[in-house]
Every structure is written in structure tokens, then in C-alpha cells.
Amino acid sequence: MAYQNLLIDHSDGIATITINRPKSLNALSTATVAELNLAVEGVDGDREVKALILTGAGYKAFVAGADISEMTRMGTPAALTFSELGHRLCDALEALPIPTIAAVNGFALGGGCELAMACDLVYASENAQFGQPEVNLAVIPGFGGTSRLARRVGPHKARELIFTGDRIDAKTAAALGLALAVLPSDGLMAHCRAVAQKIAAKGPLAVSQAKKVIAAGSDLPLQAANALERQAFAALFGSLDQKEGMAAFLEKRPAHFQGR
């Protein structure tokens, strides 16, 4: 389908979704969030896609936040609908069976920070800034920031960032575990694509199961989490990919995975 606020690219098993509203620093309007939900749904239904990169158009912003000009007109019912739409998007990103990579090029504030945190891997440009500044507008994060930020950086630091609305730079974000690495702006996408290509060459069923077990196990006691791992590990031995991967290793050749 044709999108008004997104650019979509598929190549070599990698999907790239670019939020394309550079004049508004890629702010998340209701229409943009709705389009993102549709785009993620499309990726979920495409078996050829092995990894997803999410980014923003230009060098200034990944997503500078929600569209404030639209939010000023919202009352409580409309705000709840908008929040539910954003939560659905972030939940859908987390639920994708493939790894997701946020290429944070510039501002990742408010909804932008929440969107990045819903991705599996986050890489930042040198000019990136992260933050949940909603209290400056007398509201709080609405797309899952209160819970995801605490899980990323710990409850203590999350409280400080949310209560003060302070921004942090890319190096600080990396030190806190909010980003994995800091790259030059002109090298960010190449790095993210290289990571995506490396992932896309692995056994897709195994990568998918690893993502699922890590996500489910992180909120479980260790013994219960390890039980999930054992089940997933054993189940993969019933796949054609496992037979191919181990045969290729023994035969000293590249593996050719089918996702079966």
C-alpha cells in the first residue's frame, strides 16, 4: 500500500521502515502511528523478511516525540485512544518473530524513545538524544515508557529521567544500556544494516525462538525461564534448519536455511 508518512524498503531479507515527516522532526501523529501499525503487520506476514530496521528521515530526528499540535486538541477519550494505538504498535514490534533494530539518528524523545525501546537492538548516532520529557507538558509517557525505561535502565534511573524530563546524549544512553553503540551519523545505517545482514544469515527459527525465550524468561524466576529454554532448544531439533545447520558445519560449507 501507499503510505503518506512512511518509506518502506525490502532488500536481501531486510525490511526498513523510515518515518518520513522531517519537517516535523518525524513527530508521531495519529495517522503516522496507524500507518506504522499497518507496516509492522505487513512485515509480520512476510516470511522473506529476516530482520527489521526502524529509523527516521534525515539526520536531526529518529522521532522527536508525539505530534503536540494534534495532542493539544485531545480530551481524555481521544488521549486514551491515541495511547492505545501507540501501545499496540510497541507491543507489535516486540511480538514480531524477527529481530528489530532501531537506528536512532538524532532526537528520540517521548514517543520516539518509547518506539526505540520497543525494538530488540538500539544503535545511536553521535548526535542522538534520548528522553521522556512529557512532564514538561504536564503529562506522562503514554506508549509504555514508564515500564520499558525502567526495564532498560533500572527503576531508580527511570524515575529520575521521567520525573525531571531530562534528555541524555548518545554516550550516556550507551553507558546506561539504552543504546548498544554510538556511531557517526553517516555510518549509522550501514552499521545497522550490517548487523541485520549478519542476523539474516542465521537460522531464522532459532533466532525467533531465542527472541521469544529471552522476552518471556526475563519476567520469570530462573528455573521457569530455563524450562522455557529447554523446551525451545529441544523443539528446534525437529526442524529442517537444524539438520542443515549441523550438516553444513560438519561439511565445512555455508548453511542454506529455509525457515522450516
154 to each of 73, 221, 240, how far by Cα in Å?
34, 18, 40
Compute CA 250 distance to the chain's CA centroid, rounded to the nearest angstrom.
35
State which amino acid sits at residue 109: L
Helix (H) or strand (E) holding 52: strand 51-56
Q: Which residue is catalytic, options 114, 126, 160, 244?
A: 114
Could you give the 3-state DSSP secondary structure of residue 138?
coil
Q: Does 114 participate in catalysis according to the annotation?
A: yes
- Strand-pair category, 51-56 with 121-125: unpaired
- Strand-pair category, 51-56 with 100-104: parallel
Q: Does 84 participate in catalysis according to the annotation?
A: no
Q: What is the DSSP letter of 185?
A: G
Give the integer Cα–Cα distance in Å for 201 and 50.
8
Q: Determine how many CB atoms are found less than 10 A away from the CB of residue 236.
A: 17
Bridge partners, 181 (sequence order): 123
Q: Which residue is catalytic, options 35, 84, 134, 251?
A: 134
Give the integer Cα–Cα distance in Å for 193 and 190.
5
Active site residues: 114, 134
